[in-house]
Homo-oligomer: A and B are copies of this chain.
Amino acid sequence: VTRVLVTGATGFVGRAAVAALGLQGHEVHGTARVTAGDVSVDAWHRADLLDPAGVDRLVQESACTHLLHLAWTAEQPTYSSDPANLAWARATCALVDAFAAAGGRRVVAAGTCAQYSWDPDVIGAEGFVSEAVTPRRPTSLYGRAKQATTDLLEAWSAETGLSFATALLFVPYGPFDRPERLVPSVTRSLLAGETAEVRSGNNVHDFLHVEDCGAALAALLDSDVTGPVNVGSGQGTSVADVASTLGRIVGREDLLRIAPASGGGEIRLVARTTRLNEEVGFQPFRGLEAGLEATVDWLRERLA
């Protein structure tokens, strides 16, 4: 049995990761600033990671060998320019440093597809990005803070012997997603019989059901793969296609108002998932249509 500490365990991705780690038979220790609530873990440690004393206490108390670090500022829609990104970069370095000093052996930290350049002149018109090849030149404070933190910790771990991987998360969707985001906001409008305004319909992203995302993180933590690893489906889907699929599922395509990206700049950003599929040995369980159907069912139940 591996003792695994999960930070941000009450979050959108954290819940799914906790569930996947539990299914694998690990002893799961969760932490967040709040109580565990309905998140099912073997042990709970309430802690504020922005408090240095809290970090040290958490590491000592939990005494885990494996760490899945998901906590970060996620205020919508300001997270990409939130000054708290610096505090979270600092907290992440402090946590990993303390964890390794206390005998921790393996760490997976959440990165983001926003660490890649999104410039078609850099990544090509198809928008496929791969860990070893594509430059990571983020533009937002969020992307730059994640890139700074994970690249520093990758370099440091290579010198100190800590086993460290960065999970570059593409676009997870599913239960407990923030209401402002694409899938829940469109679905809520459609279920309420209201017009759903969809912006940037031509942008293409890599969508992954959050249960697959959690299972991928659990598989990555269980492996000895180090460095950056894309966590996505490997499939590009336009925002318009996601919205249209939701429209068909709900039976209200008539309510969709889909507009292209303003300014004309189209984003295409799709994960090459060779590392995840072949080195980690993980394949997603759900296709996009099935994943969206399950999400609509979950939201319908919640709203009922």
Contacts and interface: CB of A to CB of B under 8 A. Distances in A.
In the complex, which of the residues A83, A87, A153 has the most CB atoms of chain B within 10 Å of its own CB atom? A83
A70 B83 CA distance: 24
Contact of A145 (B137, B140, B155): B155
Quickly give the copy total for this chain: 2
A152 B144 contact: yes
A152 B86 contact: yes
Contacts of A86: 93, 97, 152-153, 156
Interface in A77-104: 81-83, 85-87, 89-90, 93-94, 97
A229 B93 CA distance: 26
A36 interface: no
Task: Specify which of A137, A144, A149, A155 lies most central, judged by the most chain B CB atoms within 10 Å of its CB.
Answer: A155
Contacts of A147: 148, 151
A6 B86 CA distance: 22
A86 B158 CA distance: 12
A81 B157 CA distance: 11
A262 interface: no
Given A93-B93, A144-B154, A145-B152, 5 more contacts: A83-B156, A86-B153, A140-B155, A141-B156, A145-B155
7 contacts: A82-B159, A83-B156, A90-B93, A90-B97, A135-B135, A144-B154, A148-B148
